[in-house]
Amino acid sequence: MSFSSLGLSSPLVKAVAQQSYTSPYPIQQQAIPAMLQGKDILGLAQTGSGKTASYVLPILEKLQRQAPTTNRSVPVLVLVPTRELAMQVGEVVQSFSAGLPRPVKAMAVFGGVSINPQMMKLHGTDVLIATPGRLLDLVEHKAVQLSEVAVLVLDEADKMLNLGFKEEMEKIFALLPARRQNVLFSATLDEEVAFLVADILHNPVKIKIEEEAVVPELINQTAYQVAAERKGPLLRYLIKQHNMQQVLVFASSIRTANNVVGKLVKNGIEAAAFHGDKSQGARTEALRQFKAGKLRVLVATDLAARGIDIKFLPHVINYELPRSPKDYVHRIGRTGRAEASGEAISLISPEEEHHFKVIQKKMGQRVPLTPTEEIDLAGS
């Protein structure tokens, strides 16, 4: 199947080819034609499924047929839970719009940074990607108008609700025109999300991408059996031994993440922590450096790491196992994405062995444990 068969015009098809997307992912096959027909969409899918392009491409296609925006009334609004996702979506829109006949202006706005520069730049924005709180601030400052929004996207709606944005979202909905197209993506469909779906969507086309389907087979999983107190040295040993240059390490708590970073840095391995206790500025900077290949190790907690999209991340290491098998799959899904192969390593202490068996059973894959007592970690 090709992108042009989904109803995209040749400038968009060209833009897709420039990103080296050869064929559409399942979510794109289903969402793109439906969105082009003006239908509402309910997408149950995670990061890694290709959900961003599934709504960005039809939005850009529609904008090609409209005059550029010349005021502060945005035609397309994408609501997201975090600054990281806002920036990522902004980058995706930008990467596809370069070279389109009708230029598209996209802007990502979020809290934690000063509002003035955002206000100045908003004029003429076609696609506004925003976290709910900051969007309301901007509306209050009259920097943006929502009365002409024709397409509303809620990306990671479950996470927005989890983060307590419900009230802000309702305030935003009240500012939107009644006639509009609505798209909602969520990893889960729990009760709260179901309420939101009932409130916002009209006869949506339902698309469900099973999580298993997006666990790429290209991930090579390995696991090491190791005493808890030897995990730090083993981590450093593996990083050096395999000459890993870009590693995402998962820890289960902020405290452990900080400790791991401290020990890595002390041993001459550049590392930074990425979690909810870090300021927005510090998180963005760490992610920027990591993406650019200037920071060797990023140590993250699950919550902060959701939604991080890094192309071709070669190594993911579970310093500790996550509680839920779903999070395990989500973590290792950071590698081997976009059709590139990657390596996922788990460090398993004796206390974690049983839990690791549970995870493997749920995942339907066996990962043998490699013993490590024989490895001399003295110098690591």
- Chain residues binding ligand AMP by CB under 6 A are 21, 24-25, 28, 47-53, 309, 311, 337-339
DSSP E strand boundaries for 252-291: 271-274
User: Nearer to ligand AMP by C-beta: 291 or 362?
Assistant: 291
* Minimum separation from the CB atom of position 29 to ligand AMP (A): 9
* Minimum separation from the CB atom of position 377 to ligand AMP (A): 35
User: Nearer to ligand AMP by C-beta: 127 or 146?
Assistant: 127
User: Nearer to ligand AMP by C-beta: 19 or 370?
Assistant: 19
User: Nearer to ligand AMP by C-beta: 52 or 82?
Assistant: 52
* Minimum separation from the CB atom of position 54 to ligand AMP (A): 7
Question: Residues with Cβ < 8 Å from 124, sequence gap 6 or more?
Answer: 68, 69, 70, 71, 105
* Minimum separation from the CB atom of position 143 to ligand AMP (A): 28
Task: Residue 321: name the closest of 355, 298, 297, 344 by CA.
Answer: 355
Q: What is the per-residue DSSP string for 42-77?
A: EEE--TTSSHHHHHHHHHHHHHHTSPPP-SSB-SEE
Question: Residues with Cβ < 8 Å from 328, sequence gap 6 or more?
Answer: 318, 321, 322, 359, 363
Task: Residue 61: name the closest of 125, 122, 127, 123 by CA.
Answer: 127
User: Nearer to ligand AMP by C-beta: 126 or 155?
Assistant: 155
* Minimum separation from the CB atom of position 163 to ligand AMP (A): 19
User: Nearer to ligand AMP by C-beta: 50 or 232?
Assistant: 50
* Minimum separation from the CB atom of position 25 to ligand AMP (A): 5
Q: Are strands 76-79 and 151-154 parallel, antiparallel or unpaired?
A: parallel
- How far the first Cα of the chain sits from its last, in Å, is 50
Cα distance between residue 28 and residue 50, in whole Å: 7
* Minimum separation from the CB atom of position 354 to ligand AMP (A): 32
**What angle separates helix 132-140 from helix 166-174, to the nearest 10 degrees?**
40
DSSP E strand boundaries for 5-130: 41-44, 76-79, 106-109, 127-130
- In this structure, is the dihedral angle defined by the CA atoms of residues 163, 168, 170 and 173, taken in order, positive or negative? negative
Q: Are 143 and 72 in contact (CB under 8 A)?
A: yes
Cα distance between residue 272 and residue 285, in whole Å: 10
User: Nearer to ligand AMP by C-beta: 231 or 337?
Assistant: 337
* Minimum separation from the CB atom of position 349 to ligand AMP (A): 32
User: Nearer to ligand AMP by C-beta: 143 or 157?
Assistant: 157
* Minimum separation from the CB atom of position 95 to ligand AMP (A): 9
User: Nearer to ligand AMP by C-beta: 159 or 337?
Assistant: 337
* Minimum separation from the CB atom of position 17 to ligand AMP (A): 10
Question: Residues with Cβ < 8 Å from 120, sequence gap 6 or more?
Answer: none
User: Nearer to ligand AMP by C-beta: 57 or 144?
Assistant: 57
**What angle separates helix 166-174 from helix 191-200, to the nearest 10 degrees?**
0
Cα distance between residue 56 and residue 180, in whole Å: 16
Cα distance between residue 11 and residue 64, in whole Å: 9
